[in-house]
C-alpha cells in the first residue's frame, strides 16, 4: 500500500509497509523537520520534476561499513601522492549542484531537482547535511554529500571531474572515524566494487536507532 502524506503531519507510516520496490508514501514536502523525521526512520525522497515527492524505504539497504572500504592499489597510490586536497563543508552548494548535472550511465535527467537542492542546502545550513570536497590545482574536482543521522552518514550523491576524485572523498569520509555506517541507499556496481553490500532494513534501522 502506498500512503498519501498529510501536508501538516510530518509523521510517516511504518517502513515495513513499503511496496516491494521500497516505495512507501507520496506527497508531503521537503521541510527540514519532515526530512529529518524521514531519515531517522530509514526513509528518503527520490523523485523527479514529473512526479510528486516519492518516499522510499527499501527492504534491503545498500551500505558501506567504513572498515570494509576496498582500497585498490592504484587508489592507495593516489591517496599517498596527496595530489588531491580534501575539505569538509566548504562548498556544499557547489557539490550538490554538480551532482545534479553529473552524467549517469543509463539515466536521463536528474532526481536532484531544484527543490531538492534548496531543501538540502537548508539542511546543511542547520548542520544536518554535509559535503566532502576534493580539489585539484585549486579547482573542485570531486565530492559527495549526504545527511548525518548520528553515527550514520546517509550518502545522497557523488561526482568526479577527475579520475579517482570522488573515491578520495569517500576514502576520507571512511577514514574520518566519524561514522559507523555509510548508507548508499540503492545498489550500484561502482560502490559494490568499493566494498558496499546489502543488509536487511531491520539491521539498518538498528544503526539509525542508536543515533
Instruction: Out of 3.30.70.3550, 3.40.470.10, 3.40.50.1820, 2.40.50.180, select the CATH number for domain 3-58.
Output: 3.30.70.3550
- Name the grid cell of 126: 542547520
Question: What is the predicted pLDDT for the residue at 39?
Answer: 98
Question: What is the predicted pLDDT for the residue at 211?
Answer: 67
| 7-66 per-position pLDDT tens digit | 899 999 999 999 999 999 999 999 999 999 999 999 999 998 889 999 999 999 999 999
Task: Tell me where in the chain the CATH 3.30.70.3550 domain(s) lie.
Answer: 3-58
Task: Tell me where in the chain the CATH 3.40.630.70 domain(s) lie.
Answer: 62-209
DSSP state of 2: P
Q: What are residue 87's DSSP bridge partners?
A: 133
Q: Which long-range contacts (CB under 8 A, 24 or more apart) does 124-130 make?
A: 124/89, 124/92, 124/93, 126/32, 128/32, 128/35, 128/36, 129/92, 130/88, 130/89, 130/92
Instruction: Please state which architecture CATH assigns to domain 62-209.
Output: 3-Layer(aba) Sandwich (3.40)
| 154-192 per-position pLDDT tens digit | 999 999 999 999 999 999 999 999 999 999 998 999 999
| 101-112 per-position pLDDT tens digit | 986 665 555 789
Amino acid at each position: 500500500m502506498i500512503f498519501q502524506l498529510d501536508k501538516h503531519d510530518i509523521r510517516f507510516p511504518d517502513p515495513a509497509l513499503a511496496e516491494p520496490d521500497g516505495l512507501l508514501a507520496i506527497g508531503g514536502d521537503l521541510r527540514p523537520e519532515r526530512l529529518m523525521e524521514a531519515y531517522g526512520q530509514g526513509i528518503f525522497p527520490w523523485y523527479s520534476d514529473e512526479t510528486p515527492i516519492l518516499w522510499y524505504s527499501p527492504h534491503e539497504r545498500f551500505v558501506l561499513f567504513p572498515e570494509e572500504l576496498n582500497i585498490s592499489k592504484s587508489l592507495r597510490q593516489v591517496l599517498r601522492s596527496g595530489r588531491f586536497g580534501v575539505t569538509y563543508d566548504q562548498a556544499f552548494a557547489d557539490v550538490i549542484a554538480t551532482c545534479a548535472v553529473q552524467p549517469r550511465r543509463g539515466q536521463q535527467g536528474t532526481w536532484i531537482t531544484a527543490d531538492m537542492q534548496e531543501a538540502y542546502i537548508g539542511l546543511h545550513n542547520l548542520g544536518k547535511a554535509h559535503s566532502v570536497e576534493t580539489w585539484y590545482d585549486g579547482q573542485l574536482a570531486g565530492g559527495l554529500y549526504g545527511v548525518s543521522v548520528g553515527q550514520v552518514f546517509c550518502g545522497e550523491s557523488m561526482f568526479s571531474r577527475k579520475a579517482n576524485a570522488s573515491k578520495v572523498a569517500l576514502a576520507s569520509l571512511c577514514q574520518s572515524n566519524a561514522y559507523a555506517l555509510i548508507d548508499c541507499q540503492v545498489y550500484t556496481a561502482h560502490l559494490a566494487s568499493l566494498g558496499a553490500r546489502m543488509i536487511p532494513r531491520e539491521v539498518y534501522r538498528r544503526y539509525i536507532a542508536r543515533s
